[in-house]
Chains A and B, each alone.
Chain A
């Protein structure tokens, strides 16, 4: 399994899409941090040196979730899109093991990207002179939650990719869900469902306090549950599929 995971990591490393998604995530996070810091000290804006500002700056890294989930999707759909499934399955005929390896590799990469985005947000905050980091329980919980969310969203991406397989549809699905479907839930008076959505669970995992928000452990379990369900459904389909 180690060799398989390493192979999947190499595939991600040697795919230009990975670097494209990473660059886009960095630009999103840096841009959001700059906007946030621009409002520091203004009326209604966060106060310099406050714990709220620290968490808000680090919270900007959450925008990277969009790119992380797309990376997870592409790690699977790219094989169908470019027709490399044949050679992949010839060297690894056990399709279940292959999917597990893809999940592990994507999750490790998702966690690593989250760590990088957190670090970039933190450095930008420190450079402004307005952000102070005090290593307390809430900060630790936030960082651990952000890393877990990154790993989970990469896993979710793999699940969507295995299930849908069409690259365009699979890429549009999670973004549409996050940007449109979850917003519509609130608009249609189904706000109480939001904590149970992947987006709501991610906010809770990141330590965000909002009405009806689940405890961190429950939110994390929910994210893992969504990822597992998608992956199992996709794996069931893929194991039975003819690769022709």
Chain B
């Protein structure tokens, strides 16, 4: 059973369709990146999954059950959503104690999660004076209170410094290694490429792609680009060896489904001059832009 599932989800706000017949599953034991440009419907989808927004059609399920039917949800799903407010006059510790009480979570656990997100030193300070990064850590602390197997995080890196982003990435990986599941929406694609196992890409509320990162971006390093004044000769030699190669420019060859080592051997054997030789690194950003651009041209 999928840890999180969205089936045929549609959400309209008046005349605006925020999510349009969206379906995807999040498999247990994975970090799944939820990608899309601004206004793609990511936050609305997460809020439907968490029972905060009523779907116009379709469902959002947590381990097969609507969120609102979960008994003591803090132990099943931890969520940190963007634009969640804090009572400015309340201390960080009291904010968490208020979240902990209804689910029967002890104050000792509150202190543990404060330590986990490195906020112990400011636990008794009013949240109103917190920086964006500290608020983000406090949101995460709230999500971790029940030590739930599933985390749903909406733009969790907003306001975090590079060290904070690194810490978060490690935290999520550790939880997934222990059998947890994470669904994380982010507009920082490079950061997701480093940490996600799978991605769901949406635009205009519709699904554009879903699968493992490799499936969506293609096999990394499968093409090699060579800049050489003898480009035509290199292209002929590679083609003669059964390699698919094309002239990208008068001084540039692109060879497909080979490694840099194989191309290097061919260059050495022919005694060619090479100005530059590099593996083509398709990344999530390329795949995302290609998908969203092709969707734009279709529409």
Contacts and interface: CB of A to CB of B under 8 A. Distances in A.
Interface of A: 3-4, 6-7, 10-11, 14-16, 78, 82-87, 89-94, 240, 242-244
B73 interface: yes
Task: Categorize the interface residue count of chain B.
Answer: 20 to 34
A87 B99 contact: yes
Nearest to A10: B98
Contacts of B102: 3-4, 7, 91-92
Contacts of A83: 83-86
A14 B88 CA distance: 11
Interface in B57-109: 67-68, 70, 73-74, 79, 81, 83-90, 94, 97-99, 101-104
B74 to A, nearest CB: 6
B44 A244 contact: yes
A86 B83 CA distance: 9
Contact of A243 (B47, B74, B101): B47
B101 A10 contact: yes
A91 to B, nearest CB: 5
A6 B103 CA distance: 12
A15 to B, nearest CB: 7
Given A78-B87, A91-B73, A244 B47 contact: yes
Nearest to A89: B52
B85 A243 contact: no
B179 interface: no
B129 interface: no
Contacts of A14: 87, 89-90, 94, 98
Nearest to B89: A16
Nearest to A1: B102
Of the listed residues A86, A94, A240, A243, the one surrounded by the most CB atoms of chain B closer than 10 A to its CB is A86
Contact of A82 (B74, B79, B88, B97): B88
B16 to A, nearest CB: 12
Contacts of B104: 3
Contact of B87 (A84, A86, A89, A240): A84
Tell which of A14, A89, A90, A243 has the most Cβ of chain B within 10 Å. Answer: A90
Contact of A93 (B67, B89, B94, B97): B67
A79 to B, nearest CB: 8
A242 B56 CA distance: 11
B290 interface: no
Contacts of A82: 85-88
Given A3-B101, A90-B79, A244-B52, A84 B85 contact: yes
Contacts of A7: 98, 101-102
A3 B106 CA distance: 12
B85 A93 contact: no
Given A14-B94, A90-B79, A93-B70, A84 B53 contact: no
Given A3-B102, A7-B102, A83-B83, 6 more contacts: A3-B101, A14-B87, A83-B84, A87-B84, A93-B51, A240-B54
Given A86-B81, A93-B51, A242-B53, A15 B87 contact: yes
Contacts of B89: 14-16
Contacts of A90: 50, 52, 73-74, 79, 81, 99
B88 A6 contact: no
25 contacts: A3-B102, A7-B101, A11-B87, A14-B87, A14-B90, A14-B94, A16-B89, A82-B85, A83-B84, A83-B85, A84-B86, A85-B85, A86-B83, A86-B84, A87-B142, A89-B51, A90-B52, A90-B79, A90-B99, A91-B73, A91-B74, A92-B102, A93-B67, A93-B70, A244-B43
Given A82-B85, A86-B52, A93 B98 contact: no
A86 B81 CA distance: 8
B85 A86 contact: yes
A114 to B, nearest CB: 25
A84 to B, nearest CB: 5
A243 B90 CA distance: 22
Contacts of B51: 89, 93
Nearest to B152: A90
Contacts of B142: 87
B256 to A, nearest CB: 46
Contacts of A86: 52, 81, 83-85
Contacts of A16: 89
Interface string B24-62: 000000000000000000011001001111100000000
